Structure 1
Amino acid sequence: MTDSADLHTLTGAYALDALSPAEADEFTRHLAECPACAQEVRELRETATRLAFAVAQVPPPGLRERVMWALPEVRQLPPLVAEPVVVPLRGPRWRQRLPELAAAACLALAVGTGVWAVQAQQDADRARDGSVQAEQRASDLETLMAAPDATLRTGSMQGGGGATVVASQRLGRAAFVYHDLPPLAASRVYQLWYSQNGSMVPAGLVAPGRTDGTQILAGGPSGSDAVGVTVEPAGGSRTPSGPPVMVVPLAS
C-alpha cells in the first residue's frame, strides 16, 4: 500500500498516465475520497488539453482520405522487445522530478501537435494554390473562347489521346486543351512548341502526371503555323529531342 501522504503527490503522474496499473487503481480509489486531489487532476488534464489546442489547426479537406489510401503502402514495424523499465513513483526523488516530467510531457505534446499543424497548413496551402491556378486557367480559356477571332483546331496522338488548340491572334494567346494523353514515366514530360517556319519555339510543359487538363502556352501564336508536342526529359528541353507525337495546325 502507498502511504496516504505519498498519494497526494501523485496527481501529476496520474494526469499524465505515468502510474503503473496497480498504482493507478489505488490512486483512482483515493480520488473518490479526496476532493482536493480530484480537482487538481482535472486542472492538470485541462492544462494539457489547452496546450494541445493552442497549436492545433483544422486539417485540410481530403487529408483523412489521403492518409487512409496511403496506409496499405506503409510497412508495419516489427514489435520492439526490450527489458521493462521500472520508474519509482514514490519517494523524495520522484516528487522532486515530477514537475520536470510533467513539463516535458506537455512540451512533447505541444511540439508533436505543432509539427502536424505545420504539415497540415502546408498541405492546405498547396491545395489552395492549385485551386487558384485552376481558376486562372479556366478564366484565361474563357477569355480566349470569347475572342472574336478565336480559332479551334484539333489533333490526335498515335496511341490515344487528343487535344484542341484555342488561339487568338488579337489577344496574342493560345491554350492547349488536352485529354486522355498516354501516361509517361516520372522522368519524362510532354513539352509544347510553336512551329515557326520550320523552327520549334518552346511554349511550355504539360503538368507532369496529368492526362487531362488545360495549359496556357507561353508566348503568342503570331507567326506560327502549328503547335507541336514532344516527349522530353523532366524539366523540358531547349530543342526537341525527338519527332513530335502530335501536331495541331493553327490554320486550315
Structure 2
Amino acid sequence: MTIADLHTLTGAYALHALSARESEEFVRHLEVCEACTQEVRELRETAARLGIAAAETPGAEFRSRVMAAITEVRQLPPLVPDAGSGSGRPSRWRSWRHRLPQLALAACLVVAMAAVGVAVDAEHQVSEQHARTVAAQQQAASLSALLAAPDATFHSAPLAGGGSSTVVASQLLGQAAFVYHDLPPLPGSKVYELWFSKGGVMVPAGLVGSGAPSGAQLLAGSAHGAAGVGVTVEPASGSPRPTSAPILLTAL
C-alpha cells in the first residue's frame, strides 16, 4: 500500500472499518504522520458527538416498521474481482474502500435520525415516515461527504449560555455543518439561527429546527468565501440580520 493510499484511510480507521492487516499498517503510518493522527482524533470526536445526538429511545413500533420494510430493500451485489485483472485482488475494492468512511457514517446518521421520530396521525404514519426517512438519508449523505472531504476542518467551541459545538467546513464542497450538544431549550417564540460571515456581513444560513438538545445540521447556502460561522437567538420565524449577540462565532 502506498503512502498516498494510507492518507485516505483516516475515516475508515476512525470507524474501525479496516481489515486487520490494513489496520496494522495504518497504525505504523500514524507513528510517523502527525497530520493523519490529528485527523483521526478529530473524526472520532465528531463521530462521537453525532452518536450522542441519537441518545433518544425509539418507539415500540419502530422495530416492527423496520422489519416490515426489510423485504422491500434491494440488496447490493457482492464485490468480485474484475475479469482479466490478473492481480487476484478485486479492482472495485479500492474505490469501495475509499468510500467506507462515508458509507459507515451515513448508515449511523440515518439510523440516528430515523430513531428520533415524531408523533404522527395513524392514517398518515406510513407516508410521513417515508418522507422523514428520505430527508434523513439525504442529510446523512451530505454530512458524511462533508466529514470525509479532504479539506474538512473542525472547529470546536463552547456556546454562550451552555452547551458545546463543533463546526465542520469544507471549501472544496462549499458546505458547513453545525454539530451541537446540550443546546439550552428556548421558549416557543425564539429559535437558534445559523449565519455565514461573508465580507463582514452576516448571511442567514438556516434555523436549528430539530428541537433536540443535541444533533447536527447542515448550514443552508454556500460556504465559499465565508470567513466564519455564527449562531444567534432570534424570533421564531428567523431574522434577515442578527438581532442579538452571538452565542457562537467561530472563524473558518
Question: What's the TM-score, normalizing by structure 1?
Answer: 0.50
Moved over 6 A (4+): none
**How far 1:228 moved relative to its partner?**
0.3
Which residue does 2:145 correspond to in 1? 143
**How far 1:208 moved relative to its partner?**
4.9
Contact kept, 8 Å, 2:202 with 2:241, in 1: the verdict is yes
Aligned length: 137
Which residue does 1:129 correspond to in 2? 131
Contact kept, 8 Å, 2:151 with 2:172, in 1: the verdict is yes
Which residue does 1:216 correspond to in 2? 218
Counterpart residue type for residue 163 of structure 2: G
Distance 1:231 1:190 in 2: 5
What per-residue deviation string (whole Å, max 9, x for no partner) do you get for residues 124-170 of structure 1?
33333223222222211110111111111112112211111111111
Contact kept, 8 Å, 1:165 with 1:176, in 2: the verdict is yes
How many percent of aligned residue pairs carry the same amino acid?
A: 51
Contact kept, 8 Å, 2:178 with 2:218, in 1: the verdict is yes
**How far 1:236 moved relative to its partner?**
0.7
Which residue does 2:157 correspond to in 1? 155
Give the structure, 1 or 2, with the largest relative contact order (CA under 8 Å, sep 6 or more). 2
Which residue does 1:200 correspond to in 2? 202
Rg larger for: 1
Question: What's the TM-score, normalizing by structure 2?
Answer: 0.50
Counterpart residue type for residue 174 of structure 2: G
Which residue does 1:173 correspond to in 2? 175
Contact kept, 8 Å, 2:161 with 2:247, in 1: the verdict is no
The more displaced of 176-185 and 127-136 is 127-136
What per-residue deviation string (whole Å, max 9, x for no partner) do you get for residues 149-197 of structure 1?
1111112112211111111111111111111100001111100000123
Contact kept, 8 Å, 1:186 with 1:208, in 2: the verdict is no
Contact kept, 8 Å, 1:174 with 1:221, in 2: the verdict is yes
What per-residue deviation string (whole Å, max 9, x for no partner) do you get for residues 209-244 of structure 1?
222111111112222111000001112111111111
Contact kept, 8 Å, 1:137 with 1:214, in 2: the verdict is no
**How far 1:123 moved relative to its partner?**
3.0
Which residue does 1:85 correspond to in 2? none
Provide structure 2 residue ranges, at least 5 long, that are not aligned to the other structure: 1-58, 63-119
Distance 2:192 2:205 in 1: 11
Contact kept, 8 Å, 2:159 with 2:247, in 1: the verdict is yes
Contact kept, 8 Å, 2:163 with 2:184, in 1: the verdict is yes
Which residue does 1:120 correspond to in 2? 122
RMSD (Å) for aligned C-alpha atoms: 2.1
